[in-house]
Structure 1
Amino acid sequence: MQERVLKVLEFTKIKEHLLEHVSSSLGKEKAISLKPLTNLEEVMKAQEETDEAVKVLRLKGNVPLSGIFDIRPHIKRAVIGGMLSPQELTQVGSTIHASRQMRRFIEDLTEEEIEIPILAQLSLEMIPLVELHEAIRMAIDENGEVLDSASDALRTLRNQLRTRESRVREKLESMIRSSNAQKMLSDAIITIRNDRFVIPVKQEYRGHYGGIIHDQSSSGQTLFIEPQTIVQLNNELQGIRVKEQQEIERILIELSAQVGEYHAELDVIVKVLSDLDFMFAKARYGKKIKATKPKMNDEGRISLFKARHPLISADEVVPNDIMLGKNYSTIVITGPNTGGKTVTLKTVGLCTLMAQSGLQIPALDGSEMAVFGSVFADIGDEQSIEQSLSTFSSHMVNIVDILNHVSYDSLVLFDELGAGTDPGEGAALAISILDEVYKCGARVIATTHYPELKAYGYNREGVMNASVEFDVETLSPTYRLLMGVPGRSNAFEISKRLGLKEAVIDTARTHVSADSNQVENMIASLEESKRQAEVERDEANELLKQAEKLHKDLQKQVMEYYEQKDELEEKAKEKASDIIESAKKEAEQIIKELRKLRIEKQAEVKEHELIDARKRLEDATPILSKKKKKNVQNTQKHSFQPGDEVKVLTFGQVGSLIKKSADKEWHVQIGILKMKVSEEDMEFIKSPKAVETKPVATVKGKDFHVKLELDLRGERFEDALSRVEKYIDDALLAGYPRVSIIHGKGTGALRQGVQEYLKNHRSVKNFRFGDAGEGGTGITVVELK
């Protein structure tokens, strides 16, 4: 991509806003160097990375990315044997700690079965380096100070230092508390000069204490003297300090050597943290501008729904639908100045650059963007005083460069094409330039004032006219883009609204050709027709939504009816089975008593009589049937006719006969449902005197019940997929718009197998995991076409 184009389309400002969301200098470096990619696979991967980061932010709200530093210079110096400072080692330790926190955070997400494969893979690349982190943490504190615990030798030396300092202070304090001290000292304090303890002595008493003079006040009246009695103690202190410094250097060199040993692992940590910081910066910026992930293609198709310019305030920007590359490859936008034509150009250009950079775009979900090999833009006033070029000349320099480099995979944006010169010649040039770019197969959006280009879209296949709407009543643009409608001049209407005399306007109309008037009237008619079509479309959409809601409610009621019916049948069977079992037990008890009676009382009860009694009890046991008995008598006696009122025995519902089908079954209307029923399953009720035949609403259905969910838990993999295949077919026949498949969480193999099958099923529109209240990742909700 040309740097000039990135600047003209204000992509540099997008990067400036992105910089506000980075957490470290590593992320800042990546944001500054961000450029659009031109390979579809690379763009899709960048979009997936951003989408995963967006998912994590949506679920968790924040990410532990603090404490990250650019430690690459420290690593290089450690590799060649250099000694790192305590502050540099602290930064190394902090960065390792941040990597461990981030790895633990991502591992927790994967344990919750949140699908983040890219983040999971990145976290695995980071080696924890626990030993190095602990070594640095035990030796240096957060402020970069080497701790006593860094080594036993350092702890001993510092204990000695504290002991010696205490003795020196005691001696000096006894001096400054003496009776003569008030007279000889400028102030009764102990201070330090050149790392040695001293006291402030007045100039005239310099010889009283002896020792060494280290400094004097600016007036020369006070001397900072190290008394002779503590010189030796200070010397001992100084010696211990030298040893302390040597021990600190030894510790730092040892830690630096460890950093050098792990240079490869640290380089990976820096790279991964840089990538993660950048990914979440993109996600946070996308959240700020309410962006969505676009579908990507390399076929030049752009479908933007309610797209907004990302640099215009959300309170002011007007969203627009913009389509390009499917039925037409060129859009010519006409309309008044300050109407939003240039904003439309920049919106398309910026959304393209953002999408190809892995950024989400400010448009509704479902928008689609193309990956272009190059983006060209000729926008704005390009007048160059330095090169002595007029506005027209500067534009032509840019256009010549575009024509020399444009290809089939280019997006070209022309603002006021052909402007700045004679209108006739400018319009002719604009048409010729558009034809030349069109021949290359590039995607083009051009804005213009020339009326000749309004006809261009009607005379060329693959070219679409568009305009920005202008409200004559308020004399202001609405900034709405009207696809398929060229812009028209509103000069006469505006002049009239501003008070110009009607006579002057009428005279002006006579100077306009009949063809121009006809074109203007046609455009006005198109605008009115488009507005009316939009109103009717909105009304139709509203009616469609209501109808779909009603249809879903009815389906839900039918499903609830079937489920309740099955439940009642099951309860009835269980109750009947309990009664039968109880009867059998009672019969067995009676038989036992009879036998006992025969043995004890010598009653005349024969064994074969007992057997006959048991047989009669068993014969008396009712046999349960899943289906109700048909009322054969009624169906045989009556000859059914259209309009008859009948009872469908299977469902226990009353309906009316519509017509008899070729397979000798009847179409029966039950409420809003229409179904096919055999004569054996119907009971005649009555025939109406007169039947008015009216169209009836139909609902897809089957003559058997299909549940709204399929439970695969405990199934083998092959058996489960076989059941899924049959269930989807049954659900389609039943006309269900949405079903649920319960596969459980487990190892995830069954879930993955089910979703792989759904991906390739031609009748599956979409699928997703269940919400928290639906079963989460243990259930897949499937939308059917």
Structure 2
Amino acid sequence: MNAKALNTLEFTKIKQLVLEYAASELGSIRIKKMEPSTSLDEVIEWQNETDEAATVLRLKGGMPLGGIFDIRPHVNRSQIGGSLSPLELVKIASTIRASKTIRQFIEKLIEDEDLELPILENKKEMMAILTPLEHLIFDAIDENGEVLDSASPDLRAIRQKIRSSESRIREKLESTIRSKNAQTMLSDAIITIRNDRYVIPVKQEYRGHYGGIVHDQSSSGQTLFIEPEAIVSVNNQLREQHIKEQEEIERILLELTMAVSAEAHDLLLTVDILGDIDFMFSKAKYGRAIKATKPDVNDQGMIHLNKARHPLLPMDEAVANDIFMGDEFTAIVITGPNTGGKTVTLKTIGLCTLMAQAGLPIPVLDGSKIAVFESVYADIGDEQSIEQSLSTFSSHMVNIVSILKEADSGSLVLFDELGAGTDPQEGAALAISILDEVHNKGCRVVATTHYPELKAYGYNRDGVVNASVEFDVNTLSPTYRLLIGVPGRSNAFDISKRLGLSQHVIDHAKSFVGTDSKAVEAMITSLETSRKSAEKDYQDAHDYLKDAQSLHKDMQKQMSEYWDKREELYEKARQKANAVVEQAKTEAEEILADLRKLRLEKNADVKEHELIDAKKRLDEATVAPSNKKPKTTAPKTARVLQPGDEVNVLTFGQRGILLDKVSDTEWSVQIGILKMKVKEKDMEFKKAEKKAEPKPLATVKGKEYHVGLELDLRGERYENALMRVDKYIDDALLAGYPRVSIIHGKGTGALRSGVQEKLKNHRSVKRVRLGESGEGGSGVTVVEFK
């Protein structure tokens, strides 16, 4: 990747930001070495790694990455015969413990959440299980790096002797400093240590009283630190014991170092994997901080960024823009005023490309696409070089010459103010020629310019499109919005007028503008007007679509409930009828049995076939269950239907108004806010309307609206909630709903009681009940209208 472009596009600043999220030195080292890749497969792999880490962050908030150290130097030294210090061994044990914690975390995450995390699972499997080495180290050394008594039996015995000797020395010295002459002969009644030996502070004139060895004196020379003769031999023993202790500690450390050396390969592999995991989560944490997403990457030069923001600008200040190229066009020429956002747009494209190729998520919305380029070139900013005696134009040209030599079809080229810094006519000609050269090589090109000659460039070249950054003449400020397909127009006359320049001066200035320039400006103005109109129409259509989708969903829900309830009632009726018939059959069987018995006993004249026929008629009276929905046909009516008539639409169980006849057998019917085609045989005449023009939507204060089947009152104050219930019931009645639900939650029950009391007193409410288990239970009140 081109090093100058990385610097120009400030990729180093991105690395510094990612560095803040590293949990260990291992992750920091990888971030510092992070560079964009030119391999599509590698970029896809890196993006998948970051995406897995982002999934874990979303579900669990993070990965336990504490206690990881870069132990590679320690492990390498153990392999060449060096002895590791206690703190170095503790870092190794801590890193092993961290790897065990991460393995367990990943296992539990996959098991509990039923997630597919192939990359993390693979890394978990690759990490060696080194728990015995961890226990070996922590059994001998505590987390502060102190070698424990339990490290070996010999060390425990030596330290017991040391403590015994120290105790005897202190007893003798305390006896000395508590003697009757101590206050006179000692500078202070304390026991201290000099040269690792216990001493007491004796005044100069009494140095001969205690005998022994002088180890130090005060700065004034008036106090000598003397080891009394009575404890010299015990101090000598203590010194020998300390030497033995140190020898035993060195033996223990050497033994632990050898154990580390034996596991060196697995340790280095585990450390490498821990570094990868820390690197993955550092990128994912950075992505979460800037609300970035994973892009779809390709090697066809396709760029489609949805609401892209510059990653180095504050999120609340950066203006998001849709940027796309690589399909119908491969070059964009952006025009517009200074400080309008042209350079920011260039850097956004370049920096998002570099970030994506480095495996970082980018600040765009989901569904964005970005290409993997073999090289990225950028000529941006003031390139003036005093050291090389080069002007701005010359410095830019040196850079552009280098780009023209190296760029090819796998390159992304970014030009800022192409051709600036020289005569406008020559600069514009050079800019056109340079763009042609780069475009003909198959590069993806984005260039910014001030030259009016380039405004028509996109109309004269295949695969090139004009773009501009929007400027609000009313506020005299840029909006930073990128408009692809519309060249920027000059705002000098409009701005001058708003700032108070006389109209005759402006008119005089316009007389100097050529006819061609005026035509171009008029064309651009027309394009801007058309674009704004199209955007408004699109937004209106989008809003209508959302309303229609919501209404369609509600209608489907109502129809589903209707058929379910209808079939349920049919089934109950069948069951009740069958129960009655079964009871009658039972009684008939008993009667038949009595008759047969009577015939045998009394020779009554009752024929057997008559008894059988009677039983058969009872059997036929049983109602058979049916899963098939009964067809409803409209009763024939003598009246000829007319537009404006109110009818029952039997197939939907809804009332509607006839609009017009669309064929011999079908009518266009307005049902609520829906217009539908319904066959005449599926309708039943109700009554004629005075007005034939239906109201397509219920109106409130002249505005169209759609009311849903549910009203959510959770979080509302009591008085506001009851006011909302009043309005909602009126709206639902206007919409013709047979039933609605009011969600009030469970809470203390005060809101539920208030709502139900109000509804019971409403003249149009037929029934009020709590929701069933599938409807929300006691947190929902279901209202049925008359």
What interval of TM-score do these two structures reach, taking the shorter chain for normalisation?
0.7 to 0.9
Secondary structure of the corresponding residue to residue 199 of structure 2: strand
Change (3 A) 1:225 1:623: same
User: Over residues 494-539 of structure 1, what are the superposed CA-to-partner deviations in whole Å (9 max), with x where a residue is unaligned?
Assistant: 3333333333333322222222222222222322332232223222
1:512 maps to a residue whose letter is V
| Aligned equivalent of 2:725 | none
Residues 301 and 369, structure 1, Cα contact 8 Å, conserved in 2: yes
Q: 1:152: Cα distance to partner?
A: 2.3
| Aligned equivalent of 1:103 | 103
Secondary structure of the corresponding residue to residue 471 of structure 2: strand
| Aligned equivalent of 2:240 | 239
Residues 100 and 129, structure 2, Cα contact 8 Å, conserved in 1: yes
Residues 303 and 367, structure 1, Cα contact 8 Å, conserved in 2: yes
Greater shift, 322-331 or 535-544, is seen at 535-544
| Aligned equivalent of 1:13 | 13
User: Over residues 244-269 of structure 1, what are the superposed CA-to-partner deviations in whole Å (9 max), with x where a residue is unaligned?
Assistant: 22222222122222211222221222
| Aligned equivalent of 1:347 | 348
**Aligned pairs for 1:190-589 within 5 A:** 190-576=191-577, 578-579=579-580
Residues 641 and 685, structure 2, Cα contact 8 Å, conserved in 1: no
User: Over residues 520-573 of structure 1, what are the superposed CA-to-partner deviations in whole Å (9 max), with x where a residue is unaligned?
Assistant: 222223223322322232222222222222222223323333333344444445
| Aligned equivalent of 1:22 | 22
User: Over residues 643-664 of structure 1, what are the superposed CA-to-partner deviations in whole Å (9 max), with x where a residue is unaligned?
Assistant: 9999887766778896779xxx
| Aligned equivalent of 2:130 | 129
| Aligned equivalent of 2:622 | 621
Residues 96 and 133, structure 1, Cα contact 8 Å, conserved in 2: yes
| Aligned equivalent of 1:53 | 53
1:414 maps to a residue whose letter is F
| Aligned equivalent of 1:762 | none
Residues 485 and 527, structure 1, Cα contact 8 Å, conserved in 2: yes
Change (3 A) 1:379 1:159: same
Change (3 A) 1:633 1:44: closer
Aligned-partner Cα distance in 2 for 1:249–1:117: 44
Aligned-partner Cα distance in 2 for 1:691–1:222: 120
Q: 1:677: Cα distance to partner?
A: 7.3
| Aligned equivalent of 1:90 | 90
Change (3 A) 1:580 1:190: farther
Q: 1:588: Cα distance to partner?
A: 5.7
2:140 maps to a residue whose letter is A
Residues 379 and 414, structure 1, Cα contact 8 Å, conserved in 2: yes
Change (3 A) 1:645 1:387: closer
User: Over residues 49-93 of structure 1, what are the superposed CA-to-partner deviations in whole Å (9 max), with x where a residue is unaligned?
Assistant: 111211211121232111110011111112223221110111111
Aligned-partner Cα distance in 1 for 2:45–2:91: 31
Q: 1:354: Cα distance to partner?
A: 0.9
Change (3 A) 1:443 1:575: farther
Aligned-partner Cα distance in 2 for 1:340–1:285: 25
Aligned-partner Cα distance in 2 for 1:29–1:361: 22
Secondary structure of the corresponding residue to residue 383 of structure 1: coil
1:541 maps to a residue whose letter is H
Change (3 A) 1:37 1:632: closer
Aligned-partner Cα distance in 2 for 1:328–1:437: 14
Percent of residue pairs identical? 60
Aligned-partner Cα distance in 2 for 1:81–1:184: 54
1:234 maps to a residue whose letter is N
Q: 1:375: Cα distance to partner?
A: 0.6
Residues 378 and 399, structure 1, Cα contact 8 Å, conserved in 2: yes
TM-score, normalised via structure 2 length: 0.81
Secondary structure of the corresponding residue to residue 180 of structure 2: coil
Aligned-partner Cα distance in 2 for 1:220–1:98: 55
Secondary structure of the corresponding residue to residue 469 of structure 2: strand
Change (3 A) 1:484 1:71: same
Q: 1:374: Cα distance to partner?
A: 0.8
Change (3 A) 1:567 1:38: farther
Aligned-partner Cα distance in 1 for 2:452–2:688: 69
Change (3 A) 1:317 1:207: same
TM-score, normalised via structure 1 length: 0.81
| Aligned equivalent of 1:42 | 42
Change (3 A) 1:583 1:79: farther
Aligned-partner Cα distance in 2 for 1:654–1:590: 52
Pair 1:188-2:189 in alignment: yes
Aligned-partner Cα distance in 2 for 1:607–1:230: 136
Residues 633 and 650, structure 2, Cα contact 8 Å, conserved in 1: no
Residues 5 and 375, structure 1, Cα contact 8 Å, conserved in 2: yes
Q: 1:301: Cα distance to partner?
A: 1.2
Change (3 A) 1:147 1:611: farther
Change (3 A) 1:630 1:124: closer
Change (3 A) 1:483 1:78: same
Aligned-partner Cα distance in 1 for 2:397–2:630: 89
Greater shift, 645-654 or 327-336, is seen at 645-654
Aligned-partner Cα distance in 1 for 2:482–2:243: 78
Aligned-partner Cα distance in 2 for 1:301–1:25: 37
Q: 1:440: Cα distance to partner?
A: 1.0
2:340 maps to a residue whose letter is G
Residues 577 and 622, structure 2, Cα contact 8 Å, conserved in 1: no
Residues 306 and 363, structure 1, Cα contact 8 Å, conserved in 2: yes
Residues 631 and 683, structure 1, Cα contact 8 Å, conserved in 2: no
User: Over residues 263-310 of structure 1, what are the superposed CA-to-partner deviations in whole Å (9 max), with x where a residue is unaligned?
Assistant: 222122211211111111111111111111112111111111221111
**Aligned pairs for 1:152-167 within 5 A:** 152-167=153-168
| Aligned equivalent of 2:145 | 144
Secondary structure of the corresponding residue to residue 223 of structure 1: strand
> Which sections of structure 2, spanning at least 5 residues, go unmatched?
698-773, 776-786
| Aligned equivalent of 2:179 | 178
| Aligned equivalent of 1:760 | none
Alignment RMSD, CA only? 3.5
Q: 1:605: Cα distance to partner?
A: 10
1:30 maps to a residue whose letter is R
Change (3 A) 1:652 1:572: farther
Residues 627 and 650, structure 1, Cα contact 8 Å, conserved in 2: no
Residues 310 and 363, structure 2, Cα contact 8 Å, conserved in 1: yes
User: Over residues 351-378 of structure 1, what are the superposed CA-to-partner deviations in whole Å (9 max), with x where a residue is unaligned?
Assistant: 1111111111112222211111111000
Aligned-partner Cα distance in 1 for 2:607–2:264: 97
